[in-house]
Homo-oligomer: A and B are copies of this chain.
Amino acid sequence: MGDLITQAVEGRLFRADKSLFDRVRRSNGSPEVKASAFADLARFNALYMIARAGSGHIGSSFSSLDFVSWLHLETMRGDGLPDGDLYFSSKGHDSPGLYAVMIALGRLPEDSLDLLRRLNGLPGHPDIDTPGVVTNTGSLGMGISKAKGIALADRLARRDRRVYVLTGDGELQEGQIWESLPSAVNQALDRVTVIVDHNKLQSDTHLVRTSDPGDLERKFEAFGWHTQRIDGHEMAAIRNALSNAEAETSRPSVILADTIKGKGVSFMEHTAMTDDQFFYRYHSGAPSTDDYHRGADEIWDRVLTRLAELGITDANPTAIETGAAAPVPTGPRERMIDSYSKTLMTCAESDQRIVALDADLLLDTGLIPFRDRFPDRFVECGIAEQDMVSQGCGLAIGGMLPVANSFACFLTPRANEQIYNAATERRKIVYMGSLAGLIPAGPGHSHQGTRDIAVMASMPHMTVVEPGFAAECEALTRWCLTDNEAGAYIRLCPLPVERDFEIPADYALHLGQGTTLLDGSDTVLFAYGPIFLAEALKASKYCAEGGGPSVKVIDLPWLNRVDPEWLAETVAGLGHVFVLDNHYTLGGLGSYLALHIGALPRPPRLHHFAVEGVPACGRNDEVLEYHRLDAHSLAARIRTAFG
């Protein structure tokens, strides 16, 4: 699920035109050769899209593209028609590959090749607003259940079609996968075919190094599924397996397709990893400029060979001049994850009870130093958030101080009942959710953690915090680990952010109190987190430049704890108060403060800015503006509220 943030490749990039895909399809070669050529052209375009977007999943796009191409070219009946066969990827990470196929088939406009992870473009993970996308994915483990639901609906509607679902192999660590298998057998849902893109790698590294799945064939067979295992890059094997699945009329089918992550570019293939190389480099993010060109060249060379087999000898890629990428800030940048990671290490040196748990996001959650320094106190759980949290509860029962890490969007809702269960025991467990909030906006709403406060803050014995700068992150992490007696949830922005304000000289962490970052006399704006604080500070400046009001900006990192006296003093005499939430409208800091401010003897009027509607996918600046949460919009909204 990793989503490293990297830079777009600048300069001249190359893509294959739809017309070339058309020529391949119309050529006289065997279906297998045509599908292989089509798949490689799609790889070429997927690489273009990711390089241009600056972010996306190369590895699993490439491992799945042979299968996905064959399905769309040869297997699916009525593909794209209302009652035709359906295909979707449960993992959703391989979306650039799927988009490349859909564009090549003319289902999406060709210029959307330039719009990966852009506002109103092609989202980082599939969304049904994109024509042809069956269902929203990116949150793992739901695909087989959904396919069953579709098959049941088809049965009721007397619709005769098949549903093909691709899953990751790391995804099989999610309990929902196994939860979903029995009823497909009991209900004889033979129209469901699951293809496991068994590329042996998950977000960070090899499955066997993360959480060995054991004998997957035996497991699926024990669950009663028609099970096949094939080479997932061999078109003839794919063809045969799919017809075997179609011939099976009493059971659902699973095809374990042995694939290579990054297939098609030698140095991106996981099989090129050296034995001492732990991390796979092409799961997410963008390639370097050099990697892009080497990769594109290698694919194109093979494309030429394949096209020659089909009698096409005059093909050329189309060169596209991209503009310069957004300038990288040159000033010093703070990254909350780094501060968290360091503080966790420091505390773990002196507190032997601290055990860190990870759910296959080691790179993104800053746990590598911890794992290396305290291997015995590091538990890699794989993509199994529920299991991770309940293991954490068990560790706490056994006297340890567990720290459970993942992305906010997965950890807090997927394991919600487990977290609550531990909270009812008043267990001291620290949860860290990275990728919290609207930004970064490239991965799309499955990865934008804008509900995490709502699902965490109502729990008893649970304090929710988000730091706005590195020193505060250190102080809060230390407070959660050492001072606090019960559970805490630390939500973190993963991006490096240039801090353009001075930390007050007398800064110290006080439970339930905020820190004034910019003074103002007419009103106060509460905000939190580095990105939204930056917008709040700029908004205050824009207000001042625009003739008022004078807006005091307070960083309030405590999202469900407030010192009532401090709050009363802070808002005393004000007619208006503003709260900025990096979160949906309900359940964030705004609704918490509203209760406390509303209870004051003479409450001021409260204005609330938050994420309304499903978070948009796009470039960060585009999405902030879309949601009217950028500094200019905020300043305008504040001025309007003042009348």
Interface, chain A (partner B; CB < 8 A): 127-128, 134-137, 139, 141-142, 145-154, 156-157, 159, 173-180, 182-183, 185-186, 211-215, 218-219, 221-224, 355, 376-377, 379, 381-382, 384, 386-400, 402, 409-410, 413-414, 416-418, 420-421, 424-425, 445-446, 451, 454-455, 457-461, 560, 583-588, 590-592, 594-595, 597-608, 613-614
Contacts and interface: CB of A to CB of B under 8 A. Distances in A.
A418 B379 CA distance: 26
A424 B399 contact: no
A447 to B, nearest CB: 12
A518 B152 CA distance: 48
A402 B173 contact: no
Given A390-B146, A458-B454, A591-B586, A179 B174 contact: yes
Contact of A387 (B127, B135, B180, B594): B180
Contact of A145 (B141, B377, B387): B387
A386 B424 contact: no
Contacts of A390: 142, 145-146, 149, 176, 180
A410 to B, nearest CB: 7
From A418, A586, A590, A606, name the one whose CB has the most chain B CB atoms within 10 angstroms. A586
Contacts of A389: 145
A382 B183 contact: yes
Contacts of A585: 458, 595
Nearest to A174: B179
Contacts of A396: 149
3 tightest Cβ-Cβ pairs between the two chains A and B: A149-B394, A153-B398, A175-B175
A183 B145 contact: no
A186 B213 CA distance: 9
A594 B605 contact: no
From A142, A376, A392, name the one whose CB has the most chain B CB atoms within 10 angstroms. A142
23 contacts: A128-B425, A135-B425, A145-B388, A146-B391, A149-B394, A149-B396, A153-B355, A153-B395, A153-B398, A154-B398, A156-B355, A157-B400, A175-B386, A178-B178, A179-B384, A180-B390, A214-B224, A416-B455, A424-B614, A458-B586, A460-B584, A560-B586, A586-B595
A607 B599 contact: yes
Contacts of A583: 458
A393 B222 contact: no
Contacts of A590: 595
B398 A150 contact: yes
A182 B457 CA distance: 32
A420 B221 CA distance: 32
B451 A420 contact: yes
A179 B387 contact: yes
A23 to B, nearest CB: 34
A54 B146 CA distance: 40
Given A149-B397, A156-B377, A598-B597, A136 B421 contact: yes
A399 B185 CA distance: 23
B459 A152 contact: no
A224 B424 CA distance: 33
Contacts of A588: 458
A458 B141 CA distance: 23
